[in-house]
Amino acid sequence: MAKARIKVPEVVKRGTVFEVRLLIRHPMETGFRYDNVGQQIPKNIVHTVRCVYNGAEVFHAKLFPGIAANPYFSFFTTAEVSGELECVWTDDAGVTTSERVGLTVSE
């Protein structure tokens, strides 16, 4: 199973605002749940998500346990030049993960 999915339009016209959709696979353990034998499951959530478009940050989110499991975000940014969109996220266990997608910008 992929760790995440990023969706952007196949081609975007330069200067237009387009939608980025990001789905991260992560349980977002709240720290409030119990396992089968009543032990509290330690909190482990993705606490930070950053999205970088050709090196510049276009989206930054600080997350708390109130974000649902398998966090989903959609946000907007402006098309400039073709290149790459990279999303990077870190969870409480210190694991940092990233996923990239290519972006084609037309004139």
Partner 1 sequence: MKQIVNISRRSFLLRSAVVGGGLLLEVTLPKSSVAEAEQASAQAETSPEVTAWVLIRPDDTIIIRVARVEMGQGSFTGLPMLVAEELGCDWSKVRAEYASTSEHLRRNRIFQTMLTGGSRSIRDSQEYLRTAGAAARLMLTTAAARRWGVPGTECVAENSLITHTPTQRQVSFGVVAAEAATLDIPENPPLKDPADWTLLGQPAQRFDIPDKVTGKTAFAIDTRLPGMVYAAIAQCPVFGGSLKSADAKKIADMRGVVKLVPLEDAVVVVARESWWNAQQALRALPIEWDFGEHSQVSSDSILEFLREGIQLEKAPVSRQQGDIDSAFSSAATTIEADYYAPYLEHATMEPQNCTVLYTDQRVEVWAPAQNSEATAAVTAETADVPVSRVEVHKVHLGGGFGRRGMHIEFVRQAVRVAKTMPGTPVQLIWSREEDIQHGRYRPVALVRMRAALDAAGEPTAWTVRQAEQSIFSEVRPHLIRDGVDIVGVRTFADAPYAFPNMHMEYAMRNTHVPPGPWRAVAHTHNPFFRESFIDELAHAAGQDPYQFRRTLLQTPQASKDLAILDAVAEAAGWDSPLPEGVHRGIAVQDSYGSYTAAVIEAAVNGEGELTIHRVVIGIDCGSVANPDSVRAQLEGSVVYGLTAALYGEITIKEGRVEQSNFHDYRMMRIAEMPTVEVILKPTGGFWGGAGEPGMAPLAPALCNAIFAATGKRIRSLPLKNHDVRPA
Partner 2 sequence: MMYARPSRLSRRHVLVGLLGSLGGLLVPLRKARSAGALPEKLVPLIREATGGVTPQVGRVTLTLPTLAESGHSVRLRVRVESPMTPQAYVKRIHIFSEKNPRPVIARFSLGPRAGRAEVHTRIRLAGTQQVVAVAIMNDGTAWMARAEVVVTAAACVEGS
Which helix (H) or strand (E) is 51 found in, with range? strand 46-53
Candidates 17, 34, 55, 66: give the one binding partner 1 (CB under 8 A): 34
Cα(98)–Cα(54) distance, integer angstroms = 14
Work out whether 66 is an interface residue with partner 1 (CB under 8 A): no
Nearest distance, CB of residue 56 and partner 1, angstroms: 34
Total number of residues that touch partner 2 (CB under 8 A)? 26
Cα(9)–Cα(11) distance, integer angstroms = 5
Site for partner 2 in 44-73 (CB under 8 A): 53, 56-69, 71-73
CB distance 44 to 93 below 8 Å: yes
Candidates 1, 32, 56, 62: give the one binding partner 1 (CB under 8 A): 32
